[in-house]
Amino acid sequence: MIHALLLFIAVLAVSSAAIFAFLASAPGVVAAFWRLAISIPFIFLIYRPRKIQLSRMPIFAGFALALHFSFWIESLFHASIAVSTTIVCTHSLFSGLFAYLWGEKPRPNQILGVVVAMIGVYFLSGADARSDVYGVVLALAGAVAGGYYFASARFARDVDFPSYILLTYSSAAIFSFLACLIVSKPIVGYPFNTWIFLILLALIPMLIGHTLLNYVLRHMEVLPVTASVIGEAVGAAILAAIFLNQTLQPDAYLYMFVILFGIAITFVKSFSSK
């Protein structure tokens, strides 16, 4: 019960990410870097680790997290928040695929759910005039990277939680910083309002949301946790409509429903089981 409650709080927290990232108006790699860098000192203050357990798994997870944030945040400026967030939330499907590669075999309903959801993504990509192909591709790339990142949290349980979080977030911050250098995006020199929203992005969806998700993944299977994060798409769409007046055509909401329905199918017990 406690893990379900923590999961609910985590989903509420991450639902605010798209709004904060959009209002920050910083390039994707820059927002990704500060989202991580600002949260790391708070992790140290909360856990105060005496010793860091070194492992390669968090480093790889950090690389995936840096890609996940960078691609998705940048997609927000090329697609509506509802479309971008719905597509990136298909990371639950990709996390299931990565979990399969690491030993968790998918059930028939989970395979069906992947097919249904990806059909929805295909039609959704052309249902919003404000969303170009580049934005859809960025969001989908963020979903793939996010799938690896979330699956890693499940299969790195031999690393103690504070070490895993610190190594993952720190390596992700380093990779994001390197990306800023590669694409020549400055990490400073932004207006005051940008810093306010970057701080909120780090404290609420990152420090609270992602940290809780990583914790819950140590106690629950990958697909139920990551599929629950589809609530982020719904929450983000509602917030975007309220605060940014980003509404969609009715057919776009239909395709969003198809994606959510496909992911929901992954929760149903195998059709072949009695």
Q: With the C-alpha atoms ordered 128, 134, 136, 138, is the resulting torsion angle positive or negative?
A: negative
Confidence of residue 274 (pLDDT cuts 50, 70, 90): very low
Distance CA 136, CA 257 (A): 17
> Quick check: 85 pLDDT over 50?
yes
Q: Measure Cα distances from 267 to 30, 46, 109, 112, 122 in Å.
A: 36, 34, 8, 11, 22
pLDDT digits (tens, 9 = 90+) for 149-193: 999 998 988 899 999 999 999 999 999 999 999 999 999 999 999
Please name which of 142, 172, 148, 193 lies closest in space to residue 37, comparing C-alpha atoms: 172
The least confident of 209-213, 247-251, 268-272 is 268-272
The least confident of 86-90, 139-143, 207-211 is 86-90
> Quick check: 138 pLDDT over 70?
yes
Distance CA 6, CA 167 (A): 22
- What pLDDT score was predicted for residue 78? 93
Distance CA 48, CA 247 (A): 44
This prediction has a pTM of: 0.88
> Quick check: 272 pLDDT over 70?
no
